[in-house]
Structure 1
Amino acid sequence: MSAYGAITTRNRPSGPLASTLWHCKPRTSPSAKYLTIHHLTLADALTHSGLLQYLHTCFAEELERGMTYPQEILQGETYTQSMFEGYFFGADVLLGVVGEGNLPDGKNDGSVVELSLDVARNGRSWEESVAGVYYVKPNYPGRSSHICNAGFLIPPAQRAKGFGAVLARSYLHYGPRLGYEASVFNLVYVNNVASVKLWEALDFEKAGRIPRAGRLRKPDGSGEEYVDAWVFYRRFDDVTSVNEKAS
């Protein structure tokens, strides 16, 4: 639920988008040369035993850290799986899976791969196989619903491997194919240096700075502090040609 109430997704494709392949940079874990990205809805995720439970645990831990998302888990409160599903799976979700072995021949970033999530996982645990996940949903209702928002989550076991940058590149591919013309990130806290640098590198512009936007926990655990946040904006590339293909 947003400040506008429930927001309906417009121009959304009728079925799941194709899975795609994305190269990892050299600094990524040596065993991970690529990721495959898989489009999920809540109904899809429910068919994969343990997936939602794992993602819910990772997201609840991130909220408990209190440093990146604005949601707050109060003392004595439990962030339930149904709360997670309602928020994170409110529209479309893209799941990144760590590729195994060498890169398939002739595959560039965004190349379609005929690979189901189960095949990509190949019997591994979710902790081993899930590189990260992000949602894509409208940022505004009605006449502004062509602008989307996204939220990214990298599980603790997969951090500092460069997977966030790979997922971010894939977002520029999937956003317009889900029917959106542009993206807005409402709250990128200024002390989240890695995220700020990432979106700047992908040509997002700083549309504004919100003073004291977040009451965040300090990294050293010594308490809380108020932190400013950037609003980032970018129009997706080749929107017209993508929309023409979808019509």
Structure 2
Amino acid sequence: MSAYGAINTGRKSKDPLPSTIWHTKTKGSQAVVPQSSYLTIHHVTLASAQNLPGLVFYLHESFAEELERGRTYPQEILQGELYAQNAFEAYFFAADVLVAVIGQDVTVPEGKTDGSTIIKTIEEARGGRAWKDCIAGAYYVKPNYPGRSSHICNAGFLVPASQRSRGFGAVLARSYLYYGPRLGFEASVFNLVYVNNVASVKLWDALNFSKVGRIPRAGRLRTADGMGEEYVDAWVIYKQFDKAVDGTN
């Protein structure tokens, strides 16, 4: 539920978008990903994700851990409180979700560039691995506003703690520029990018997003040592998407 009430996705087609492949190592990257140099990204909804036993549970568990850290998302888990899976589903799976799976091969298949379509389903990409061993991350995409402004989307990103510092967040961000317009959106806005989230701010800067506003004391966040709290400003960050072009590899 937003400040405007429930917001419908507005997406006409119910068919999933094609799965795609993305390099994890870009020129000048410091990321070291010994087991694979690519991710495959798969478009899912709550219904399709629920048909993959354990996937929603794992994503819920990872997201709850992030909320408990109290440094990136505004939702608050109070001491002794549990973040229920149905609350996660209503929030994270309100519209479209993209799930990234770590490639099983060391090298990218020949001829495949970023955004190339692949035939593999998410189960085939998983290849029998546990979700915790193969999920690089996930993100939702949904309208930020209703009706006449529903062409502007919002997204929320999740990289499980065990998969961080491997460059996966940057890959998810690049793929967002591909999937956002293909989901029918013209632009993106992030309402609350806390200024202490330096890695995220640098990532969006590198992708030519614009800081269009700064909200003072926007978040009462946990301190880095987890021992206290502090008020932190937040950026409002915007980008107009390039128009989607058909005919990817």
Query: Which shows bigger deviation, 194-203 or 27-36?
Result: 27-36
The answer as to 2:151 corresponding to 1:152 is no
Question: For residue 203 of structure 1, what is the aligned residue in structure 2?
Answer: 208
The answer as to 2:237 corresponding to 1:232 is yes
Q: Find the residue that maps to 1:70 and give its secondary structure.
A: coil
Q: Find the residue that maps to 2:89 and give its secondary structure.
A: helix
Question: For residue 31 of structure 1, what is the aligned residue in structure 2?
Answer: 35
Q: Do the aligned partners of 1:214 and 1:227 also contact (CA within 8 Å) in 2?
A: yes
The answer as to 2:221 corresponding to 1:216 is yes
Identify if the C-alpha distance between structure 1 residues 3 and 174 changes in structure 2 by more than 3 Å, giving closer, same or farther: same
Aligned length: 242
Identity of aligned residues (%): 67
- CA RMSD between the two structures: 1.2
Distance 1:39 1:190 in 2: 30
Question: For residue 14 of structure 1, what is the aligned residue in structure 2?
Answer: 14
Q: Do the aligned partners of 2:212 and 2:235 also contact (CA within 8 Å) in 1?
A: yes
Q: Do the aligned partners of 1:13 and 1:178 also contact (CA within 8 Å) in 2?
A: no
Query: Which shows bigger deviation, 36-45 or 26-35?
Result: 26-35
Deviation at 1:224, TM superposition (A): 0.2
Deviation at 1:74, TM superposition (A): 1.6
Q: TM-score, normalised by structure 1?
A: 0.95
Unaligned 5+ segments in structure 2 are: none
Q: Do the aligned partners of 2:69 and 2:226 also contact (CA within 8 Å) in 1?
A: no
Question: For residue 57 of structure 2, what is the aligned residue in structure 1?
Answer: 53
Question: For residue 77 of structure 1, what is the aligned residue in structure 2?
Answer: 81
Deviation at 1:36, TM superposition (A): 0.2
Q: Do the aligned partners of 1:13 and 1:179 also contact (CA within 8 Å) in 2?
A: no
Query: Which shows bigger deviation, 4-13 or 222-231?
Result: 4-13
> In the alignment, residue 10 of structure 2 is paired with which amino acid?
R
Deviation at 1:12, TM superposition (A): 4.1
Distance 1:12 1:194 in 2: 35
Question: For residue 194 of structure 1, what is the aligned residue in structure 2?
Answer: 199
> In the alignment, residue 31 of structure 1 is paired with which amino acid?
Q
> In the alignment, residue 37 of structure 1 is paired with which amino acid?
I
1:25-47 deviation line (CA, Å, top 9, x unaligned): 15231212000000000000000
Deviation at 1:149, TM superposition (A): 0.2
Distance 1:220 1:41 in 2: 36
Distance 1:188 1:73 in 2: 19
Identify if the C-alpha distance between structure 1 residues 183 and 49 changes in structure 2 by more than 3 Å, giving closer, same or farther: same
> In the alignment, residue 205 of structure 1 is paired with which amino acid?
S
Misfit runs of 4+, over 6 Å: none
The answer as to 2:59 corresponding to 1:63 is no
Q: Find the residue that maps to 1:172 and give its secondary structure.
A: helix
> In the alignment, residue 108 of structure 1 is paired with which amino acid?
T
Unaligned 5+ segments in structure 1 are: none
Q: Do the aligned partners of 1:185 and 1:233 also contact (CA within 8 Å) in 2?
A: yes
Deviation at 1:112, TM superposition (A): 0.3
Q: Find the residue that maps to 2:49 and give its secondary structure.
A: helix
Q: Find the residue that maps to 1:168 and give its secondary structure.
A: helix
Query: Which shows bigger deviation, 8-17 or 174-183?
Result: 8-17
Q: TM-score, normalised by structure 2?
A: 0.95
1:129-168 deviation line (CA, Å, top 9, x unaligned): 0000000000000000000000000001100000000000
1:2-49 deviation line (CA, Å, top 9, x unaligned): 111100112443300000000011523121200000000000000001
Name which of 99, 110, 119 aligns with 1:114: 119
